[in-house]
Structure 1
Amino acid sequence: MAEEPRPGRRRGRLTVYLGAAPGVGKTYAMLGEAQRRAARGTDIVVGYVETHGRENTAAMIQGLEVVPRQRITYRDTTFTEMDTDAILARRPAVVLVDELAHTNVPGSRHEKRAQDVEQIRAAGIDVITTVNIQHLESLNDEVERITGVRQRETVPDDVVRTADQIQLVDMSPEALRRRMAHGNIYKPENVDASLASYFRVGNLTALRELALLWLADRVDDALGAYRRQHDIAAPWPTKERIVVAVTGGEESETLVRRGARLAQRAAGAELMAVHVIATDGLRRVDESRIARVQQLVASLGGSFHSVVGEDVSGAVVDFATGANATMIVVGVSRHGRINRLFTGSTGDRIASLAGSIDVHLVTHEEAARSGRRRPLFSPLSRSRQTAGWVMALLLPAVVTALLLLSTETDQLPLVELLLLAATVLVALVGGLLPALTAALVSFLLLNWYFTPPVGRFTIAEPTNLLALLVYVAVAAGVATVVDLASRRAADATRARTEAATMGSLSRSVLTGQDTAEAITERLREVFAQRAVSLLANTDGGWVVLASSGETPACSPDEGDTRVTVDDRHVLALCGDPLRASDQRVLEAFAVQTSLVLEYRRLREREDRAAALESADATRTAILRAVSHDLRTPLATLRTAVDGLVGDRGLDDEDRAALVEAVGSSAEQLERLIDNLLDLSRLQTGLLHPVFRERSLDEVLPLAVAGQPPGAVTLEVEESTPLVHTDAGLLERVVANLVSNAVRASAGKPVRVLAHVLPGTVDIMVVDRGPGVPPEERGRMFEPFQRLSDRSAGGLGLGLAVARGLTEALGGTLSAEDTPGGGLTMVLSLPRTRPSQDAA
């Protein structure tokens, strides 16, 4: 028995010879290393090597110890596999294991050879193995697209990626094809077909490039791990990595495209876009544009990243440094010259912090439009702004008048403080511009009434001039701070409202509870609209999928505000036009609507898949049942017909028995076929009942007419009201129930009763048979469920068809216990209204 690995034992090293294509010589290279190690005295054995009949490869095994393979018999065929237990018992220092992606024959210790290798390494034994690039799991689809061949045996990338050493065995396509033509890889009879198919120059070139790129990523991972282990913060430009700083503005897509063009100039370059989310959460960002940028980056083969930081420039440089980037692409600042003069630009700050990373500054159209913005837009309401302007003109005059009535009018500092308080009050009410106006009016009043010479707009004392200038500066500064605080408060309130709304939307999306109707109703409530409608563009025009409110729009042109959900759906809002600040929440509703529509499509697809699965299961069951249950009456029918046709001296009694057998078999076949057809019509929706008011006195006698005398007792009062049903289908249902009950009663009479309820008429079929346990009553109405019924010729369709027909009639069919033993089937049908009964 093999020795179990002990805890704490050194894990064996893994060396992988990675072949760029079959036949490049990875096994030969592995054996060459084994010969060199053996010559140095290393205890090395051959666990498994496949030579494929190649003489040069077989010659390299000479002199190496080979562990005998184990023999496994599977399906009367003997196979040989690597003997893992024997290797563990031998305990060499190094073992050679060829074809790492191999799948073992059933009956082996492990399913995959890679699992054998893991067990050997866990025992402290080093492993040298081989694998071709096309056998890596992540490249399986790409290899199939290139070569047209699906690799059945694959190995997870992590097994190879985490190897201690990877040796790439490569060869040019021309040299490999020459090896193939010389018969060094395959047998001569297979050379031409291989050269014309898998070993084409294009295939081999593509496989070679896949191997190089995959190994380059592995080397890059190792370099990153080395930099982290040695705390190396400075980037090492081993590979072109271009980081695009995305602001969320209209220029973002231009920057990404420019970065992609720069990345295309260097083979193997990597494109990354980074968006910095401000820690205060108050900076306005167009989420829909960020989403479009993400899609653009993905379409260009790059990756999108979001980071959080207080300083945008520092966050971008930190990300680029951590990603070992070689270039940062940033756009020209959209701020005006005065703003850039005092605060600088993001591009300048990134360039000063980037160190050895190149910074590429990109111009764009938005930089020229920066002066068209309205920086003094106030978030305050129109009424507060109006009140602020009135106070800016009147409040300084009122304060001045009160001071003039006072006896102490020569105390300029006190006057300035009072007027400053008035200016602050104006800023709190009306914002920045009214406050600056109030400061100017206060300055003029101070000059006229309180600074010598009084009554003139002149100042005699320099100290008074300095005091007035300081007053104006302080008033302007305080007004600016107060206005900025009000803006921040408004932004914070709006952000809190948006966060609450988006949080509610996210919860509803995650729980899957939202519907299109709920979205339109919530959208109308949040934005106080008269009506909201979700429109779909079909071949026949616009169709309203969901709406809320009165007179919703029937086309996008009828809405006052429109937002696009996707290529075929639009939300149309009727009411006051929305502000630009509401656009982000509106876009969130559009995204949620898109998710709801996608969920609806997925549910419809799931329903169709479930229907197809059910139909497939039914089809399989039908074929299984037909192959057995229909064969019995057919065999009986054929035997009886052959006996009648042969007529080898049959007497009248035998002939009558054969005729009766023909009749009963034909009747049985007819019943089975009818049930199959009924089930098929029910499942495909082709059954269309014709409803009329019918009397049970007309239907029930026909339903029980085919039963033996005395087998059924019919108990229906003449006063039983009419039922709204299809007489033919109702007769089929009752006949089916009665037939089942007669078979289950074993000679005891079956009762058919009718009970009148306020809204329905219940038809009950009562038998005295063995009954059905409660836990099995749910299955008894499923197709092909015969339960305890083992009668010949039964497909188990009777109750399934009966329930389906009952539901088509608008009724219900259920099973109850019969008092004293047995089963009672209750068929509830809607009765006609009293007015109709009277008529």
Structure 2
Amino acid sequence: MNSSRRADALLADLPREGRGRLKVFLGAAPGVGKTYAMLQAAHRQRELGVDVRVGVVETHGRSETAALVAGLPQQPVRAVPYRGLQLAELDLDGLLASTPQLALVDELAHTNAPGSRHTKRWQDVQELLSAGIDVYSTINVQHLESLNDRIHDITRIKVRETVPDWVIQDADEILLIDLPPRELLERLREGKVYVPEQARAAIDAFFSQTNLTALRELAMQTAAARVEADLDKRANLLGEPLPAVRGRLLVGIHGGSSAAALVRHASRVAERRHLPWSAVHVDDGRAMDEPARVRLQAACQLAERLGGEVVTLRGDPARTLTEHAHERRASLILIARGRPRMWSSRTLANRLLAHSDGLEVSILDVGAEPMPRLRYTQRSAEWTHYVLAAASSAGATAIAMLLSKVLELPNVSLVFLSAVLTVAVCSSLGPALACAALSFLAYNWFFIEPTYSFTINREQDVLSLFFFLFMATLTGNLASRLRRQLKSLRETQSETVAVLEFSRRLTAATDKAAILSSAKQYLEERQPLSTLVMTRHKSGNWHIEDGGDLRLSEQDRAAADWAWKHEEPAGLGTDTLPNCSWLWIPLLGDEGTLAILGARGSTEDHIPPDLNRLLKSLAQPLGQALARARLAEDLEAARLHGETEQLRSALLASVSHDLRTPLTAMRGSIDSLLTLGNAISEDDRTELLEGTRNEAERLDRYIQNLLDMTRLGHGGLKLARDWAAPGDIVSSALTRLRSVLTGLTVKCDIADSVPLIHVHAALIEQALVNVLENAARFSPSLGVISINVAQEGNELCFAVTDQGPGIPPQERKDVFDMFYTAARGDRGGKGTGLGLAICQGMLGAHGGRVAVSDGPDARGTTISMYLPISPQPAQDD
């Protein structure tokens, strides 16, 4: 047992100080008896002296459940008004204040009424646990977040209330409450779950025999997963080996041609047996040729796509596979049938059976094939290495002849062994064996009596000579194997570093264009490659993502189509249309092919095998990055759609009232004039007409605000600048608001030395009108509105001060948002909430700004509009 795993288990088993314990009663569907079982458990705890308090329990009109609730102390629920109803919600603060030892909180997935502290009831439970209160709660399996899609596929009903899986995983205890579907349907028909009308509808929509059976299986799987996790934890805590209960399938793969077929077969077997599975490759130190490495990598990627786990181990294949199987509590090992090696009559299957120790070993007959070996071109070293072997033997002979005068004969053999080791480390096995043979002959010729002949007189010299040959061969072989392993590890490390660096660059990219640009730059700056990424439209046409124009041959297009359709590489250097000039590698996501990566050598008509393998390794993180970019685009589109809908709703809610009010007043005045005719006095007629005109002006301002906001949002606001006097702008704005300012006192203070401003006078006047109208709305009757115009540095300030209730500091940024309204004061009616937003937009178009501050003596509000002052025109202008 791994000591670190046992230490982790010990730490996890320690009680969390100050935190309560959560027990969840899990059921497959409503009506199986979760709440009843929870209440029975609570009664047992109360009999043991535990302080139990009912926080909230939903009886659904069941008399047996209500009787159990009545026998326990209860925390009064909190009545929350909602749409004319009184909703009973958990009184979280009251329960925290009473500090019981155990609280009962039914329906963990419940959504709280608006205005509650937490949106979901499981969040209330988390706060109770943090306060050190134990909690009993209930949940149905359809409310688990990870099962939401599967529940929809089973029942065709979208469950809206879900609980994150980590809440259940963190529970200290899960109790499965089970009831056969037949008995549950009988309870439903008898009205023990819902009232008869609801029961009939529930049977038709949800409580079918098939649905209940499937939900029951999901509930049992959830409980079984928790039991398995508890078993792991307990075994690790005790430092004991884990017993195999559920099991796991291990498929041993290598670089043979059967690797892909073996992985697919393993996936089907795992699915039929409902087992998790892993694809395991055991590296025994023997180097594979390039096709074998490519096949192995393709098999690993296929295993990941089919939902398996990929594991790479090192050691003897049979022993390592069985040890890993026992460690992972696997029950089945699947391998392909192979031929025995030249030096052994036992196959991998025979050796696995010898070490299986109760494991099931299945052998798939996909054609007997040997384990992948080095190609002869790789095993045959270059001729220079054999020259090195001969030179090393000659050098060792010369050194040995010099040392033979001072050393005994057995010590001289160490010089030749050193030469063999040197050649093995510097070259490969072939030159090392050649060096060993030459050293054997030189040792015999120059140092074994009689010298200068291959005749051996003494029997002990024969034994020494052959022992020297054995040691030279053995050490040379070991040194050569270590060199091959070191080379393989370096290549693996190089690929791993390349993938990590590539993934790091892709992670830093924020969108699809940045991802493709980063990938293209990374690939082409390190390798002599030309690359491109293409996507396929629904019409079947190809689109080059970098915007380039590339004319592909019919064969290249056919290879690209095949790679897109079959999700496998095609084209240059593959078995599919290998005569193409491009290599096409599909970039895969969860929903299939997202794009294809094209690559070709800049000077050669082929791609080196190591580069080919690297491209296929980098294709996976590139596909994941594109999937992430697509997801981000979808989320952004959803966010924009949501904001658009929110904006539309706010506009309709605001405008529908504020446009209807003046229209209703105008219609009433006109109806009075038409109905009463000459019976109305002249004064009343004048009053009605003036009221109609005022409402029409009010309606005109609303419509103008909407049009201005639209023009600002679409960049349609054109500035026709001219020189204007600030006093004229103020005077014109006051004239337009004559009826609005009735009953208020307006004080103007315009400094004599204020300069002219180069602005679009009508827009600045409109901005000032919006600010004055806003001040009038929030001013009390007979209130005073002050207008101050003065130069402050390089800016001209229009400051409008009212005597209204003021704006809190935390809301001062919000008042410039569209549709933000705050009706305060006696004159504070509702408005569209566009006035100040338009004011900010108009000033911003002129390079100005607007600010909000307190009025004099912290009473009311001052809105200041700042405009930049341009160099004054000449007097003639």
In the superposition, the TM-score normalised over structure 1's length comes to 0.66
Please give the per-residue CA displacement for 1:386-417, whole angstroms capped at 9, x wherever unaligned: 43345557786899999999999xx9999988
**Equivalent residue in structure 1 for 2:80, among 74, 77, 91:** 74
1:199 pairs with 2:207: yes
Matches within 5 A, 1:511-522: 511-512=508-509, 515-522=515-522
- Which moved further from structure 2: 562-571 or 23-32? 23-32
Q: Does the Cα contact within 8 Å between 2:787 and 2:799 map onto a contact in 1?
A: no
| Residue of structure 2 in register with 1:289 after alignment | 299
| Residue of structure 2 in register with 1:598 after alignment | 627
Please give the per-residue CA displacement for 1:223-256, whole angstroms capped at 9, x wherever unaligned: 55565566553735x4454333455765444344
| Residue of structure 1 in register with 2:251 after alignment | 244
| Residue of structure 1 in register with 2:708 after alignment | 675
- Which moved further from structure 2: 620-629 or 394-403? 394-403
Q: Does the Cα contact within 8 Å between 2:767 and 2:842 map onto a contact in 1?
A: no
Question: For the structure 1 residues 70 and 311, does the alpha-carbon distance in structure 2 shift closer, same or farther, using more than 3 Å as the test?
Answer: same
Q: Does the Cα contact within 8 Å between 1:330 and 1:361 map onto a contact in 2?
A: yes
Question: For the structure 1 residues 765 and 603, does the alpha-carbon distance in structure 2 shift closer, same or farther, using more than 3 Å as the test?
Answer: farther
Alignment partner of 1:490: what SS? helix
Cα deviation, residue 571, structure 1 = 3.1
Task: Measure, in 2, the Cα distance between the counterparts of 1:83 and 1:739.
Answer: 52
1:615 pairs with 2:644: yes
Task: Measure, in 2, the Cα distance between the counterparts of 1:26 and 1:58.
Answer: 10
| Residue of structure 2 in register with 1:377 after alignment | 378
Task: Measure, in 1, the Cα distance between the counterparts of 2:68 and 2:421.
Answer: 94
Question: For the structure 1 residues 579 and 650, does the alpha-carbon distance in structure 2 shift closer, same or farther, using more than 3 Å as the test?
Answer: same
| Residue of structure 2 in register with 1:795 after alignment | 835
Matches within 5 A, 1:505-544: 505-512=502-509, 515-527=515-527, 529=528, 531-538=530-537, 539=539, 541-544=541-544
| Residue of structure 2 in register with 1:364 after alignment | 366
| Residue of structure 2 in register with 1:171 after alignment | 180
| Residue of structure 1 in register with 2:384 after alignment | 387
Please give the per-residue CA displacement for 1:529-567, whole angstroms capped at 9, x wherever unaligned: 15333333445744433499x999997777555433343
Question: For the structure 1 residues 322 and 25, does the alpha-carbon distance in structure 2 shift closer, same or farther, using more than 3 Å as the test?
Answer: same
- Matched to 2:633, the amino acid is E
Task: Measure, in 2, the Cα distance between the counterparts of 1:662 and 1:473.
Answer: 112
- Which moved further from structure 2: 72-81 or 207-216? 72-81
Cα deviation, residue 311, structure 1 = 5.5
1:572 pairs with 2:599: yes
Task: Measure, in 2, the Cα distance between the counterparts of 1:252 and 1:484.
Answer: 25
Matches within 5 A, 1:247-326: 247=254, 251-263=258-270, 269-273=274-278, 275=280, 286-296=296-306, 298=307, 304=309, 306=311, 310=315, 313-326=318-331
1:545 pairs with 2:549: no
- Matched to 1:795, the amino acid is G
Task: Measure, in 1, the Cα distance between the counterparts of 2:696 and 2:401.
Answer: 126
Q: Does the Cα contact within 8 Å between 1:28 and 1:60 map onto a contact in 2?
A: no
RMSD of the alignment, in Å? 6.6
Task: Measure, in 1, the Cα distance between the counterparts of 2:301 and 2:476.
Answer: 38
Please give the per-residue CA displacement for 1:334-393, whole angstroms capped at 9, x wherever unaligned: 7x522545xx6654444333322222233434x52547751661598xxxx343345557
User: Which blocks of at least 5 consecutive residues in structure 1 are unaligned?
Assistant: 1-6, 690-695, 717-730, 752-763, 807-811, 829-839
| Residue of structure 2 in register with 1:484 after alignment | 481
Matches within 5 A, 1:758-837: 766=796, 769=799, 783=818, 795-798=835-838, 802=842, 813-815=847-849, 825=867
Cα deviation, residue 293, structure 1 = 0.6
Task: Measure, in 2, the Cα distance between the counterparts of 1:87 and 1:610.
Answer: 38
- Which moved further from structure 2: 740-749 or 578-587? 740-749
Q: Does the Cα contact within 8 Å between 1:571 and 1:590 map onto a contact in 2?
A: no
Q: Does the Cα contact within 8 Å between 1:251 and 1:331 map onto a contact in 2?
A: yes
Task: Measure, in 2, the Cα distance between the counterparts of 1:14 and 1:658.
Answer: 69
- Matched to 2:498, the amino acid is T
Alignment partner of 1:608: what SS? helix
Question: For the structure 1 residues 393 and 347, does the alpha-carbon distance in structure 2 shift closer, same or farther, using more than 3 Å as the test?
Answer: same
Alignment partner of 2:627: what SS? helix
Q: Does the Cα contact within 8 Å between 2:249 and 2:330 map onto a contact in 1?
A: yes
1:146 pairs with 2:159: no
Task: Measure, in 2, the Cα distance between the counterparts of 1:255 and 1:713.
Answer: 87
Count residues with an aligned counterpart: 748
Question: For the structure 1 residues 540 and 681, does the alpha-carbon distance in structure 2 shift closer, same or farther, using more than 3 Å as the test?
Answer: farther
Question: For the structure 1 residues 520 and 638, does the alpha-carbon distance in structure 2 shift closer, same or farther, using more than 3 Å as the test?
Answer: same
Q: Does the Cα contact within 8 Å between 1:147 and 1:198 map onto a contact in 2?
A: yes
Task: Measure, in 1, the Cα distance between the counterparts of 2:356 and 2:374.
Answer: 30
Q: Does the Cα contact within 8 Å between 2:440 and 2:469 map onto a contact in 1?
A: yes
- Matched to 2:305, the amino acid is Q
- Matched to 1:580, the amino acid is P
Alignment partner of 1:355: what SS? coil
Q: Does the Cα contact within 8 Å between 1:435 and 1:476 map onto a contact in 2?
A: yes
Matches within 5 A, 1:36-435: 57=64, 65=71, 67=73, 70=76, 72-75=78-81, 112=121, 134=142, 139=147, 142-149=150-157, 166=175, 168-173=177-182, 175-181=183-189, 186-188=194-196, 192-221=200-229, 223-224=231-232, 227=235, 232-233=240-241, 235-236=243-244, 238-239=245-246, 241-247=248-254, 251-263=258-270, 269-273=274-278, 275=280, 286-296=296-306, 298=307, 304=309, 306=311, 310=315, 313-332=318-337, 337-341=341-345, 346-365=348-367, 367-368=368-369, 370=371, 373-374=374-375, 377=378, 385-391=382-388, 430-435=427-432
Question: For the structure 1 residues 10 and 782, does the alpha-carbon distance in structure 2 shift closer, same or farther, using more than 3 Å as the test?
Answer: closer
Question: For the structure 1 residues 205 and 494, does the alpha-carbon distance in structure 2 shift closer, same or farther, using more than 3 Å as the test?
Answer: closer
1:504 pairs with 2:513: no
Alignment partner of 2:525: what SS? helix
Please give the per-residue CA displacement for 1:792-823, whole angstroms capped at 9, x wherever unaligned: 9963454565589x6xxxxx845499xxx975
Cα deviation, residue 200, structure 1 = 2.5
Task: Measure, in 2, the Cα distance between the counterparts of 1:389 and 1:679.
Answer: 82
Question: For the structure 1 residues 340 and 561, does the alpha-carbon distance in structure 2 shift closer, same or farther, using more than 3 Å as the test?
Answer: farther
| Residue of structure 2 in register with 1:494 after alignment | 491
Task: Measure, in 1, the Cα distance between the counterparts of 2:171 and 2:812.
Answer: 56
Task: Measure, in 2, the Cα distance between the counterparts of 1:424 and 1:469.
Answer: 17
Question: For the structure 1 residues 162 and 277, does the alpha-carbon distance in structure 2 shift closer, same or farther, using more than 3 Å as the test?
Answer: farther
In the superposition, the TM-score normalised over structure 2's length comes to 0.63
- Matched to 1:205, the amino acid is T
Question: For the structure 1 residues 475 and 132, does the alpha-carbon distance in structure 2 shift closer, same or farther, using more than 3 Å as the test?
Answer: closer
Q: Does the Cα contact within 8 Å between 1:146 and 1:203 map onto a contact in 2?
A: yes
Task: Measure, in 2, the Cα distance between the counterparts of 1:122 and 1:611.
Answer: 40
Q: Does the Cα contact within 8 Å between 1:737 and 1:765 map onto a contact in 2?
A: no
| Residue of structure 2 in register with 1:836 after alignment | none
Task: Measure, in 1, the Cα distance between the counterparts of 2:693 and 2:150.
Answer: 68
Alignment partner of 1:484: what SS? helix
Question: For the structure 1 residues 261 and 165, does the alpha-carbon distance in structure 2 shift closer, same or farther, using more than 3 Å as the test?
Answer: closer
Q: Does the Cα contact within 8 Å between 1:379 and 1:490 map onto a contact in 2?
A: no
- Matched to 2:519, the amino acid is I
- Matched to 1:354, the amino acid is S
Question: For the structure 1 residues 700 and 375, does the alpha-carbon distance in structure 2 shift closer, same or farther, using more than 3 Å as the test?
Answer: same
Question: For the structure 1 residues 107 and 386, does the alpha-carbon distance in structure 2 shift closer, same or farther, using more than 3 Å as the test?
Answer: closer
Task: Measure, in 2, the Cα distance between the counterparts of 1:92 and 1:660.
Answer: 68
Cα deviation, residue 604, structure 1 = 3.4
Q: Does the Cα contact within 8 Å between 2:53 and 2:100 map onto a contact in 1?
A: no
Alignment partner of 2:633: what SS? helix
- Matched to 2:484, the amino acid is R
